[in-house]
Amino acid sequence: MSPFFGLLLGVLLLVPAIVIAIPVHEMGHAAAAYFLGDRSVRYYGYLSPDPRRFLEPIGVIAVVVALVGWGRRVPVQSNRINTTRQRVLFELGGPAANLIVAIGLGFLLRALVRAGLPYSFDVGPGLVLAAIYVIVFLNLSIFAFQLLPIPGLDGWNIIEALFRSRNPRFFYDVSLRRREIWAGAVIVLIAFQFLARVNILWYVMAPFYEPASLISIGRCDGYAIPNLTALFPCLL
């Protein structure tokens, strides 16, 4: 397989994964909000699987470039989702949805492999199972990435929900400097990648990604787009 064709195939396999994993994450937030009492998410169509409502251009580009991503955040009514418990459950809804889909499709993938169906990233019938694996991988990746304690991600929002009342000024200052924090994080990632040949995401995502991958597909594995990027958050 030529380098160009390998790159093209790696990107194309991400397309169905993006169309599923990002909407699943945001619909998980919407479902959590709905069951917590905010019916507006249904009225405004956030329980609909239409990917156009959830896909965000920079978040999609991030998937292709770094194999992590995000979508358009589901708005909720603050008077409905206002207690600490409600806010935490709402933030956990997105990662939980990704994890459930990853485990369900992971079990399906293992069953199909045991049944003798081909599984290969080469051109042929095995690409069907490979496409299922990429969907599993991206759901696991978004699940683990969103749990990181970085402003704007679900992990940070959970921390803020738990501790904002104790130090509101700190969290206010962080929210004002979100762009600077993200710019600094990207610079650190690039610096380590090019100077030390280390992808920090592999290590910071591993505590979430690795056990979820073991449950889903029975092993910890990642994904690579030849000549572009790779993500293997496994420390085994």
Please say whether the beta carbons of 139 and 68 come within 8 A.
no
SS3 for 68?
Answer: coil
Q: Please work out, in degrees rounded to the nearest 5, the angle formed at the alpha carbon of residue 92 by the alpha carbons of 30 and 235.
A: 135
CA–CA separation, 53 vs 25, rounded Å?
12
Of residues 75, 85, 68, 79, the one with CA closest to residue 26 = 75
Residue whose structure tokens are 């610096």: 191
Does residue 210 have an active-site annotation? no
For 235, phi then psi, to 5°, come to -110, 15
What is the set of active-site residues?
Answer: 26
